[in-house]
Structure 1
Amino acid sequence: MLQFKSPGNWLFIVPWIAFIPWYGMLIAMLICWASQGHPIYWFMHTEQFPVYISDIGATNLRPLFISCAGWQGLGYVITVALEFFQRSGYLPFQLKKKDPSISDSTSYAEKLRSGKYLMPPYYTKDERNLIFAAFVLGGIGELGLLFCSIFSTARYHHVHIAMVSVFVVFMFLSTCCLIAEYFLMGRHYASIHPLASPHFNPQSSEKSFNQGYNTVDELPWYKWEGHIWNKFTISATLKVIWLTLAVVWAICFGAINDGSKSACFEWLLAFWFGILFMILSADFYLGGRYRESRYFNHVESFSGYYKYDKALGLYHSEEVLPSDDNAGVITTETASSNNHNNASSNETFQVVV
């Protein structure tokens, strides 16, 4: 029997709040159009079944169309912003506040155990920049959808079509950024995953990578090592499948001259859009539970995989891993190779996870 485990936080509900009203709008439009006898509206030039979403949205249901399009758009932007927040500790465009307990020289392992991050932090600045880009591009795309609903196809047809194009193009780019982010995080996570082969695991005393590569950053971009099929790469693959089908159906929507068939693909795309929110919700749920993951407490070292660790010469080795015997207490030795007076400092501390 499938058991729902307690989430790390409740932010995974936000994507559902965003897209459920969108589904409600679509269903309400179909019901109203059917109850009216499947009419062909005065501004339409051909007979077709079904009609386009925008055709129904240009009638007395226009307020519903505008409000739900705006709600869904705001929900998507907030969802991506929350992805950024959970992995960085601050929101996009927010001035980063200095936390004396978490500095740029803090190791990845310490950041994970600090409790500041609701999801595992990004490994490099590339992932951070991709989330931010997805946020900005998604915001532009969703504004396109909002203006699409405001400028109805009945009165502003050319503007309406232009705004549809803005929505499609920028949402495509935003999704590509999310896919790239998860593939990059999955590539790093694969090499330190406890299920990675010892031959490729940088935690092992054996050679970390074959062919002379010492860290994942030294591998060619096309080469992956370790536990490749992890939660990041699986999510990225699902997004690729989602986007591929969305692109195919979008091409059919725009290229088919038959209005009825074209409208069918538009309705299909509108409902398909909600699947992306479900995937993002699953990302939030799984990411928020990373401290409860069965693998988290068995990762012995994150050294070399965080943006500052390698540059500052920091390494961290946990002498005692959490278990039932030590009640989750970790003794960690931190060594620094910073050249302050040509001396190295050692500090031992305990962290309860």
Structure 2
Amino acid sequence: MVNTENGQKKPRVRFQIFHYYLIPLVALVVWFGLLISLLICWGIQGRPIYSFMTTKQNPVYLSDLGATNLQPLFISCSGFQAIFFVGTLVVGYYLRKKHKIQPYISHHQPRLAIASIICAIIGQLGILFVSIFNTKNFHSVHLSMVGIFIAFVFLACCCDFGVSYIFGSRGAKLDPIHNGTIFGKSRFANLYFVSFVAKIIWLIVAIVLAACFGYYMKHGNDSLSARFEWSICFWYGFLLILWSMDLFPSAVRKYRSKHPHLYETNQYDYENQNGGNSQWEKDINNKGRSSSELGDQYTYVNSPMMQNQKLANQQFANEENQTNPNEQMMQEDPALQNQALANQQFTEEPALQNQKLANQHLSVADQQVPPQQQQYEVNYQQQIPPSSQPQYYEPIASTNQNPSLPQQSHVMPDSQPVTYNQDPRVPY
């Protein structure tokens, strides 16, 4: 129990009472009911030794009780539990394919699940034929069907346990909402691997019990052999409990989808609950739907939001992988790389920035000068001294003269008249 803010107590785990996890439990109740009923009836009858039995023993074999007037009970209960046994595996496959519980994380898992279903069907047909062909009238057929039942149920368990092992050994690929199942840093430190270990323990115990049953039967100790047979029958029911635990998360999520205001959800739109547009708040308001129409939500990793996020991440990765042609050319040409470094250095040094501004100002001044004043250029041999009155040295006249423009003439001693145009950039 957990204390709420109001001091009230509520359970740690809330779940939908009538849900898929009940399917193997129904098979369990029917199977245990069959076994207990047969033992009670045999005890009420005074623990008789039937005429077709060769030796006295205590207790008798299950097959011996099924060959008496209790055979209709044996047939009906065996067939009923067989339906729910196979239905458990089918429902588990359906829920994982529809992403209502932890979906498959390997392409081998669906194949193992289908193989498990096929083997389970054959094995459960075997137990049905065991009840139909009784040991009294069809002894050899009866023993053959027992062998088929044990062999194919064993194969079905191995395939299903393989699915659990893949979940438990690859915890990094699990749905993010299953982070609560991880309790350590090791990749095997998760509840799925614990479930796998529990199933392996069940399988090992079942093999040991079956081996003891066959050993004592072969050596003529029927009483001890019968005890191991009944132990195997009851132990078989615990497998159904393990499978019920595999389907239980679906019942938890069903309850959360119908009562998000009572239990904090960890599904994909939990972050949007305060926005008022989430599916969970629509379920609270019910929107005219009955409670039976409120189905399970997608798991977080397979939600539309996460699918869009995956597409966005993929597109972003593709854009990063695509190199700009200019950048690619620059990477291939060292000269362009040096030029890029020079440009970067130019933009970073203050002195170069001032020079750049000065050049821009000078280019603007050049554009403002009338075109007729730029026809002639004079190259002076010496720099003009800073003086308020211009001092002229003999210039080298430009050969590109335009007679249509006004000319200025200066006669200097021992020299020929020269003409020049005043350079506006030279301070006088």
- TM-score using structure 1 length: 0.68
Provide Cα deviations, 1:42-94, integer angstroms capped at 9, x if missing partner.
Answer: 101011100000100000000000111111111100110001111113xxxxx
Name the SS for the 1:154 alignment partner: coil
Name the SS for the 2:69 alignment partner: coil
Of 59, 65, 68, which aligns to 1:59? Answer: 68
Name the SS for the 1:289 alignment partner: helix
Separation (CA, whole Å) in 1 of partners of 2:238 and 2:109: 23
Separation (CA, whole Å) in 1 of partners of 2:22 and 2:116: 20
1:11-90 matches, cutoff 5 A: 11-89=20-98
2:125 corresponds in structure 1 to: 143
Separation (CA, whole Å) in 2 of partners of 1:62 and 1:4: 42
Q: Does 2:195 align with 1:246?
A: no
1:170 corresponds in structure 2 to: 152
User: CA offset at residue 22 of structure 1?
Assistant: 1.3
Separation (CA, whole Å) in 1 of partners of 2:133 and 2:181: 53
Q: Which amino acid aligns with 1:280?
A: W
Aligned residue pairs, count: 268
Residue 50 to residue 8, structure 1, CA distance change in 2 (3 Å): closer
Q: Does 2:312 align with 1:335?
A: yes
Does the CA-based 8 Å contact 1:250-1:269 persist in structure 2? yes
Provide Cα deviations, 1:240-261, integer angstroms capped at 9, x if missing partner.
Answer: 1111101100111111131001
Residue 227 to residue 343, structure 1, CA distance change in 2 (3 Å): closer
Q: Which amino acid aligns with 2:271?
A: P
Q: Does 2:226 align with 1:273?
A: no
Name the SS for the 2:312 alignment partner: strand
Q: Which amino acid aligns with 1:83?
A: G
Gaps of 5+ in 2: 2-10, 258-262, 279-304, 321-428
User: CA offset at residue 286 of structure 1?
Assistant: 2.5
User: CA offset at residue 237 of structure 1?
Assistant: 1.1
Provide Cα deviations, 1:277-329, integer angstroms capped at 9, x if missing partner.
Answer: 1111111113553696999949xxxxxxxxxxxxxxxxxxx9x9838766796
Q: Which amino acid aligns with 2:212?
A: C
User: CA offset at residue 236 of structure 1?
Assistant: 1.1
1:236 corresponds in structure 2 to: 196
Does the CA-based 8 Å contact 1:322-1:328 persist in structure 2? no
Q: Which amino acid aligns with 1:272?
A: W
Name the SS for the 1:11 alignment partner: coil
Of 225, 243, 247, which aligns to 1:284? Answer: 247
Separation (CA, whole Å) in 2 of partners of 1:232 and 1:324: 30
Higher Cα radius of gyration: 2
1:182 corresponds in structure 2 to: 164
Separation (CA, whole Å) in 2 of partners of 1:296 and 1:325: 13
Provide Cα deviations, 1:149-172, integer angstroms capped at 9, x if missing partner.
Answer: 100000111111111011111111
Does the CA-based 8 Å contact 1:22-1:72 persist in structure 2? yes
Does the CA-based 8 Å contact 2:20-2:250 persist in structure 1? no
Q: Which amino acid aligns with 1:33?
A: W
Separation (CA, whole Å) in 2 of partners of 1:8 and 1:297: 20
1:108 corresponds in structure 2 to: none
Does the CA-based 8 Å contact 2:14-2:252 persist in structure 1? no
Separation (CA, whole Å) in 1 of partners of 2:314 and 2:18: 37
Separation (CA, whole Å) in 1 of partners of 2:72 and 2:21: 28
User: CA offset at residue 118 of structure 1?
Assistant: 2.0
Does the CA-based 8 Å contact 2:105-2:173 persist in structure 1? no
Separation (CA, whole Å) in 1 of partners of 2:159 and 2:275: 41
User: CA offset at residue 146 of structure 1?
Assistant: 0.5
Q: Which amino acid aligns with 2:70?
A: L
User: CA offset at residue 234 of structure 1?
Assistant: 1.4
Separation (CA, whole Å) in 2 of partners of 1:163 and 1:130: 24
When you count strand as a share of all residues, which structure comes out higher?
A: 1
Residue 17 to residue 63, structure 1, CA distance change in 2 (3 Å): same
1:207 corresponds in structure 2 to: none
Q: Which amino acid aligns with 1:179?
A: F
Q: Does 2:16 align with 1:7?
A: yes
Q: Percent identity?
A: 36
User: CA offset at residue 231 of structure 1?
Assistant: 2.6
Does the CA-based 8 Å contact 1:119-1:287 persist in structure 2? yes
Does the CA-based 8 Å contact 1:8-1:285 persist in structure 2? no
Gaps of 5+ in 1: 90-116, 201-224, 299-317, 345-353
Residue 8 to residue 336, structure 1, CA distance change in 2 (3 Å): farther
User: CA offset at residue 4 of structure 1?
Assistant: 4.8
Of 224, 239, 245, which aligns to 1:261? Answer: 224
Q: Which amino acid aligns with 1:322?
A: E
Provide Cα deviations, 1:123-168, integer angstroms capped at 9, x if missing partner.
Answer: 1221111111110001101111110110000011111111101111
Q: Does 2:78 align with 1:118?
A: no
